[in-house]
Amino acid sequence: MTTNRPKIKVASVINRKYLAFRKLGEGGCGVIYEVAMVKCPGRRFACKAETTVFDEDPTLPMEHKIISKLNEKNSIHCVELIDKGQSDNYQFIVMTLLGPSLDAIRATLPTNKFSTFSTLVMGIQALDSIKEIHDIGFVHRDVKPANFAIGALGTPKQRLVHVLDFGISRQYLVKDGENGGLRIRKPRRIVPFRGTLRYCSVAAQERKEQGRHDDLWSLFYMIVEFVKGSLPWTGIMEEEKVIVMKEDVTELFNGLESECAMFAQHLSVLRYQTNPDYALLRDLLMNIFVRRNFNAQMKVDWEKGGRYESHFEKKTSTLPVVIEKDMTEVDLSKLLNVPQNERNITMEEIIAAGKTTEEEGLNTAQDDTIVEDENGFLGKQEAKPATPSARSETSKKVKRRYIARTPSAHKIEQIEKNWKKKEEEANKEKLLKNARAARRAKEDFIVPEDNTVQKRKLESTQLSSAVSTKSTRSIGKKILPPKSFELH
């Protein structure tokens, strides 16, 4: 990953229009700042900048493209794109300045988890925002709490959840050259990992093409973490062990509402090309909302009157207090559209969505990258047709279903054995390195007149004598080289 970042500092002026006030965050090759308009300092925005010297593919063009499309659809769960531009070594976009991310809010809570009411308010809005992304033909591929944020604290929009960071999103709907309509992009044979290990689906870990259901798996893990405070695999970095723990749902479902298991069951029958039943998933969450007698007038955890309001009191700041705030009202009842009664959802309805007759071919090329200009799609790289054997193999793979099971003792034992083996090899290498260093310390270098270096090992007795002689000569006088050194 490149170490080149945009050369932006606090108080610097961006594009002669925006003044950088404070850094909000940074990534591998980009930074995001809170900025103010030079001509109107009271108006604040977020500016995301990315270097134009890349070691990896740029992410800002994808970010700009998706935000623009969501703005065209008047999405309330997306930031508003204000401006874009380019400087000497970076390009940037300016957008709505939001409040803290859901991840930052959760880290502030003393229990590290949200109330059930707040979890449902966030989960339902996050589901709606993900559907909006899917509706314009993209999958997010990095759904996690850090990529959702509320509006500014102390304003009505602090109840509104926004989806962020589309840098590694991918287009799954493309124009069909034959009939001019849209088709689902064929899954690739070679897929690099994209996402975050804690929240990504098992399929993403297995390097399979991510579809709409993979975003929803990440949302599901988010909701579970909000309710329970952590996931069983939190802090574990070994992918094999995380896969095993994600497939063992016993601990994951413990203490959760039955609707959560039904939510996961619906996702388990979906495939890359299958359209998720968003309304069904929303109704599952709404059933919990109605059964718990929640209502839209209740307070979320971080607002005044909420469970943890004391942790979000307004703090002093060195920034001017002339910041203009968006005080547009947010009607939570219209946002959530809470039904009067629970909906009766059967297991047959949960499973039915996975029964599809669509043929799911495999793109045997590494990618089928779309070539695009401002007028639309011009074409794509030609992918070699899949052989009959490849289609057969793919057909077998797509029939794989997520099965709730406890991992075998043999599988866990094998994983543990591999870890121990790696650890032993690392320790062995460390011991060998120390031994080589010790041997080098016992070597004597003689520099002859012809400037060539000859290496000679000292006998252990000579080395001891040399050290002893050096020690005695260093007392009260200038240190002289020991007799065992021959200087020419």
Active site residues: 142
The type of residue at 429 is E
For 3-32, give one letter per residue: b (16+ CB within 10 A) or e.
Answer: ebbbebeeeeebeeebbbbeeeeeeebbbb
Sign of the alpha-carbon dihedral angle for 83, 378, 134, 363: negative
162 neighbors 98 (Cβ within 8 angstroms): yes
Q: Is 81 helix (H, G, I), strand (E, B) or coil?
A: strand
248 neighbors 236 (Cβ within 8 angstroms): no
CA distance 116 to 293: 12
Sign of the alpha-carbon dihedral angle for 241, 244, 246, 249: negative
- 3-class DSSP string for 209-267: CCCHHHHHHHHHHHHHHHHHCCCCCCCCCCHHHHHHHHHCHHHHHCCCCHHHHHHHHHH
CA distance 98 to 450: 72
Phi-psi category of 271—alpha, beta or left, where left has phi over 0 and alpha has psi -120 to 50?
A: beta
154 neighbors 145 (Cβ within 8 angstroms): no
CA distance 137 to 135: 5
182 neighbors 176 (Cβ within 8 angstroms): yes
Give the contacts of 471 (CB within 8 A, at least 6 positions apart): none
Among 363, 362, 296, residue whose Cα is nearest residue 330: 296
Q: How many residues does the structure list for the chain?
A: 488
Helix spans in 269-408 (H): 278-291, 332-336, 347-352, 388-398
Tokens representing residue 432 in the block: 């060998």
Tokens representing residue 207 in the block: 């390097």
CA distance 50 to 90: 5
The type of residue at 434 is N
Residue listed under structure tokens 């043929």: 359
Cα 8 to chain centroid, rounded = 25
Among 389, 283, 401, residue whose Cα is nearest residue 339: 283
